[in-house]
Structure 1
Amino acid sequence: MNYQETANKIVEGVGGKNNINSVYHCVTRLRFDLKDNSKADKAALEKLDKVMGTNIAGKQYQVIIGNDVARVFDSIVKEYPELQDKKEKEQDAGEQKNKNVISRLFEFIASVFAPILPAIAGAGLLKGFIALFVSLGWLSAGSDTYRIISSIGDGVFHFLPMLIAFSAARKFNSNPFVAVAVSMALMSPDITALLSSGNPVAFLGIPVTSVTYASSVIPILLAVWLLSYVEKGFNKIIPSSLKLLFVPLFSLLIVVPITMIVIGPLGTFVGDALSGGINWLIVEGGLPAGIILGGAMALIVMTGMHYALVPVILSNLATSGFDKFLPLTYISNMGQAGATAGVFFRAKDKKLKSLALSTALTALMGVTEPAMYGVNMRYKKPFLAGMIGSAAGGGFALMFGVNAYVLAGNGGLPGIPAFIGPTFWYAIGGLAIAFVVSLIVSILLGIKEEAPEQDNSRSESNVSAEQDEAAAASNAALSPADLLEAGSVEPTDETVYAPLTGTAIPLTEMDDPTFGEEMMGKGIAFVPERGELVSPVTGTVMNVFKTKHAIVIRSTDGVELLMHVGINTVKLRGQYFEAHVQTGDQVKAGDKLLTFELDKIAREYDITTAMVVTNTPDYTVIAPLQLGPVAAKQPVLKVEV
């Protein structure tokens, strides 16, 4: 049975086209919104050869397909385009439209390397410690123990193409094991010996260029990209009963020779050119390049551009044994740590001093997000101080040719073994300069504690997935033009109404530091009795979060409110939530915003719901009007300028 036939049978099995409101899919299953679930023929559906089972979650009827779900879904919407979930369709189209080629490239590189970084980081740190132990005389470089431990560290980098092949295959939707088989063929001892023999090599009379695939990055990425298209082509023309044998066979026979003849040399040339260009800029640029790159590194990391340099760093470490770009990331981290430490010495508020001290120490350990987003960007001047210190440290480092010799996997003090080598003390000097200069500049610039400047991309100091999502939820999702149209008004006194029925409690009682410590702003919290969220004000919907658990509204009088249903509910990825408004909609107080299946969510998560005034600094008073039992649309919060 082909995919189109399966799709037609599934549509028939769920009661026909007229019984379907909409359909979308996740990783393994089709998710139908049916008019009447009782019309679905469970037995008939589960007899289909591509259907693994069925399930009903809430009102949603799910048909479990497995790895082929995307192909079955595509076949359904090809035949019945009107059935595709409109919101899902608009969201996907909008996301693709808004992403340019560079953004998609960064996203791809990040998604390929993120899963394999733990193995690379662990092996890199081990290599750093080996170098340290040898330099201290604790380990002999010629001993069997040294060789065994070195093999543990070197193995990951030597066979790096295998890790990349598996990870890239998952991204390209090709068979990851066939992708690994391609990398194994390229790195097999016989092929390696053949290409390194110095003699001319040919395949069917076509010359094969000598290329070393061990530790390479670009060639295997291109090879797996080619594999994804070859597999798709053979999957279309080979009968299902023969696919298991012949799709991998023909894919290997085509991809491996083409890689050796064309892709390998091309990928090596591109990789060498990219690495050479960046390395030339860093080496020849010296002090000016260090100042510019060191100062801008925090911005580079924020935009995700650093992911594009991961292949270059790995290539440099594999081919040259060192890399000059990696030290700048350490230096940037030290700059942010120093700037936050400056806030600790300058601040008067005890809570802020405690936050600055803890996040500065965390940044020294290589985790800069709490310091950068929770303190430095919030007050802006410390962020500038961090960039100034990083520029000073970066200039010093490149002026003296500082190198990183391994990828230690930590950009803080625990990763210092990465610098063990001839330029070690210059590296330490660069880190110290970045920290001290940032500390001093941060103290000199100071902060405005009584009304901290808020960045439009507000975040908080906790690095949990829930809190990162909560911060993102508070960002206005409209364009600048839309924001102007929505009306950027001067805040005035206002009464805010309860967005749900339940029990009102102080926001500080929430078991989540992001809200409980009022990092996002002041407000109030609720323990809901019903799964319905209504608008607490009349105004504009600024952001309906993708996972539907949070929404941001700006009232006509200027108050900006983030409503966040539950704690850690972002992990549900929208399950049990339904949004009734979209970004940009105009709403009145009491209009329905979200509905959610309260009982099902409460089985796994704390359902306490926060309502936070995200532009808190615009007001002198933000206070609950009542606590305890409340009904939706009752006055619960007053804000006064």
Structure 2
Amino acid sequence: MTYEKDAAAIVAAVGGEENITSLYHCITRLRFTLADRSQVDEAAVRAVPAVQAINQSGEQFQVIIGNDVPKVFDAVTTGHPGLNRKVVTADGADSDDAPVKQGGNVVDRFFGFLSQTFPPLVPAIAGAGLIKGLLALAVWLGWMSTETQNYQLLYALGDGFFYFLPILLAISAARTFKTNVFVAGALSAALVYPGLVTLLSAGDPVHFLGVPVTATTYSYTVIPSLLAVWALSWVERGLKRIMPQALHLSVVPLLSLLVVGPVTLVALGPLGSIIGEQISGGLNWLLTHGGVFSGILLGALLSLIIMTGMHAALVPFILGNLATLGSDPFLPLTYVQVMSVAGALFGVAIRARSGKVRALSLSTGLTALMGVTEPGLFGLLVPMRKVFLGSMVGGAIGGAISLGFNAQAYALVGNSGLPGLPGLAGATFGWSALAMGAAFVGSLIAVCVIGFDESPLTGGVVEPASTGTARAAEDDLATVKSPANGTVVPLDRVNDPAFSGATLGKGIAVRPSDGEIVAPFTGTVVTVFPTKHVVGLISDDGIELLVHVGIDTVELGGKGFTAHVKDGDRVRTGDPMLTVDLPAVSATHDVTTVIVVTNTPAFAGVEPVVSGTVRAGDRLLAIESLEHALEATR
């Protein structure tokens, strides 16, 4: 779903760009600071399809979106570039003056940088890449000649993005590095400037102030531009610290370009080209010449690689292959991985004795076919290790076929499930389809043959799929435990309409008596918001939960909060998640902690089971599955 129209309507309804003095987003809502609150048309804001509710908190006008708020925020800033200079971080720092802050080691920060820089480019990559893929298919089928003007005009539409990729990538990287996007674009534009390309390709030695400039081509490249913008971010911040504010508009960009430009042409650009060529060459050699062996290895391990985030490091080289070669051998393996997970989940559905496990495997299996494997991967395959092993068998079979027959992808369409099949359209589509089918069937058969233990999902009791009698016992219901010691607060009494009106889902709240926030069930941490006041989780039963500590505590920018978990962590009931400096936070904010089931419609019932005082680990919510409710009526 795209949000361009919704974003435009929201900006217009709050009084337009001129009325917005600053904006940012938290985990559920857009937060605007407005010059004139009277210019807001609240009815028009509420009428926007993406908007669930609105709220006024102090000087902030909040537009409540829900889980898709990052997408809406991206649409707002993309459709209104002038607002980018008004974006602030959660602690109020100007995004152009503050470097990106990420926790973890160098590897974690590198993957975090990739995950922020490349996703904004995916729509253009998908559209332009698909044009090139479809043109290649048309030529292969004999429907079009490369000599025709129609082909050449269409090819320009597809190839233009990749030719000027350094410029567009620089703009996205500048947003990640929190440096001026247009100066970054100007810096990278010099790398593909026709006059420079001609000069470097003429064959004569080129020098700058006596220093030799390496003759290389930067069109279609990735790493040189990233290195240039990284250097620019440091130089620009250093200059802003030592120069008066009045000189920031003109002198800082001037000096930044004069310093970083020559360094890029003399050192960073050639270095980036060498690094990219060597790594890309090595990976492509392995993918092209490793054949069946590499296919078996990568096909079997790709789910693990994706779970650790290591696949993000391959994005630059995939883009490079698509840009320079027109195809890539790694992407088909991601389709194989999706189908191997889906096949394993359907294998569970066939063999499962527990109705709960069967229902969960069917729902997550269908989701996996659509290209979203995380619910099934973390909810079923990881807890039931033999099922994960079965998916690895299917992945190995599909990977062997894919690389054994040199299957290629011709576009990066952002989805490796059935909706993403156009990305494989080309000369090797048949082999890709065979690899996907083999992965699905191989995983399904392997799971059925190997078998599995259902107890991790049934609490040690394997129940039949259908008993023919009602099962209304409380123990049959999934539960959410209290994440904190304190006093229970009904959700409708929470001082925030987004929560009290159940806009984001049903649930309950706890006013904590101490600062320890623990895991409310066994599952996976989906997200820890940068300001560490919100944790999103998914249980092994498929319950998507939001634990939101305090009201409007995003304004603290993380002060008073310490996170003990990170995205992707596995947690068990009672594991520490957050520590809150309760006296400090409660001095300025309501510390009521809200616990809501964000996928409430997926269940028959979400009901509180306790009131008064509660201790961490006590039953807080009972969650009744649709299957349980259906069986109870029999």
| TM-score interval for Structure 1 and Structure 2 normalised by the shorter chain | 0.5 to 0.7
Residue in 1 that maps onto 2:511: 532
Which residues of 2 match residues 285-300 of structure 1 at below 5 A? 285-300=290-305
**Counterpart secondary structure, 1:257:** helix
Is the contact made by 2:345 and 2:362 (CA closer than 8 Å) also made in structure 1? Answer: yes
> Which of 529, 533, 548 is 2:533 aligned to?
548
Structure 2 matches for 1:348-359, cutoff 5 A?
348-359=353-364
Letter in 2 for 1:372: L
8 Å contact 1:282–1:325 — kept in the other structure?
yes
The aligned residue for residue 348 of structure 2 is 343
Query: Closer, same or farther in 2 for the Cα pair 1:234/1:184, shift >3 Å?
Result: same
Q: Pick the aligned partner of 1:444 from 425, 430, 449.
A: 449
**5 Å matches for 1:3-152?**
96=103, 99-136=104-141, 141-152=146-157
- Structure 2 gaps, min length 5: 1-21, 26-56, 62-84, 95-100, 461-479, 493-499, 521-527, 538-542, 565-573, 599-605, 622-634
**Higher-RCO chain (CA-CA 8 Å, sequence separation at least 6):** 2
Residue 541 of structure 1 and its aligned partner are, at CA, apart by 5.5
2:612 to 631, 635, 639: 631
- Equivalent residue for 1:267, pick from 260, 264, 272: 272
Q: CA deviation at 1:248?
A: 1.5
CA distance in 2, matches of 1:636, 1:161: 54
SS at match of 2:383: helix
TM-score normalised according to structure 2 size: 0.63
After superposition, the Cα gap between the structure-2 partners of 1:69 and 1:135, relative to the gap in structure 1 and judged at 3 Å, is closer
Please state how far the C-alpha of 1:381 moved relative to its aligned partner. Answer: 2.3
After superposition, the Cα gap between the structure-2 partners of 1:419 and 1:73, relative to the gap in structure 1 and judged at 3 Å, is closer
Measured after TM superposition, the shift of residue 143 of structure 1 is 4.4
Letter in 2 for 1:500: V
Task: Tell me how far apart the structure 2 counterparts of residues 294 and 330 of structure 1 sit (CA, whole Å).
Answer: 10
User: 2:202 is paired with a residue of what secondary structure?
Assistant: coil
Q: Once the 2 structures are TM-superposed, how far is the Cα of residue 436 of structure 1 from its aligned partner?
A: 0.9
C-alpha contact (below 8 Å) 1:533/1:593 kept by paired residues: no
**Which residue identity is paired with 2:304?**
L
Aligned equivalent of 1:165: 170
Question: Distance in 2 between the 1:354 and 1:233 partners?
Answer: 57
Matched, 1:500 2:485: no
Q: 2:405 aligns with which of 400, 407, 415?
A: 400
Give CA deviations for 1:404-463 in whole Å, capped at 9, x if unaligned.
2332322122323333344332222221211111010112233333552799xxxxxxxx
Alignment of 1:329-478 (within 5 A): 329-452=334-457
Shift of the 317–344 alpha-carbon distance from structure 1 to 2, 3 Å rule, reads same
SS at match of 2:457: coil
Secondary structure, aligned partner of 1:214: coil
Distance change (3 Å), C-alpha of 1:276 and 1:104: same
- Distance in 2 between the 1:378 and 1:511 partners? 35
CA contact (8 A) 1:106 1:308 kept: yes
Check whether the contact 1:378–1:454 (CA below 8 A) recurs between aligned residues. no
- Please state how far the C-alpha of 1:574 moved relative to its aligned partner: 3.7
Name the residue aligned to 1:83.
Answer: none
CA apart distance, 1:300: 0.7
- Preserved contact between residue 382 and residue 388 of structure 2 (Cα < 8 Å): yes
Q: Which of 1 and 2 has greater Rg?
A: 1
Which residue, 233, 254, 276 being the options, matches 1:228? Answer: 233
* Structure 1 unaligned regions, length at least 5: 1-25, 30-53, 59-64, 75-91, 456-472, 477-495, 505-509, 517-524, 553-561, 612-622
CA distance in 2, matches of 1:305, 1:108: 12
Per-residue CA deviations over 1:256-307 (Å, capped at 9, x if unaligned) read 2222222221111111011111122223322222111111111111111111
Which whole-Å CA distance do the structure 2 matches of 1:335 and 1:117 have between them? 24
TM (norm. structure 1) is: 0.63
Distance 1:592 1:637, change over 3 A: farther
Q: CA deviation at 1:188?
A: 1.4
Match of residue 307 from structure 1: 312
Q: Distance in 1 between matches of 2:124 and 2:511?
A: 45
> What is the SS of the residue equivalent to 1:500?
strand
1:625/1:369 CA distance change after superposition, 3 Å: closer
Q: What amino acid is the match of 2:119?
A: A
Tell me the CA shift for residue 341 of structure 1. 1.3
Query: Which residue of the other structure, out of 188, 195, 208, is the alignment partner of 2:200?
Result: 195
Q: Equivalent residue for 2:330?
A: 325
Q: What's the offset of the Cα at 1:353?
A: 3.0
Contact 2:398–2:438 under 8 Å retained in 1: yes
> Number of residue pairs matched?
479
Residue identity in the other structure for 1:110? S
Alpha-carbon distance in structure 2 between the residues aligned to 1:150 and 1:428: 26
Any conservation in 1 of the 2:384–2:456 contact (CA below 8 Å)?
A: no
What RMSD, in angstroms, separates the aligned Cα atoms of the two structures? Answer: 5.0
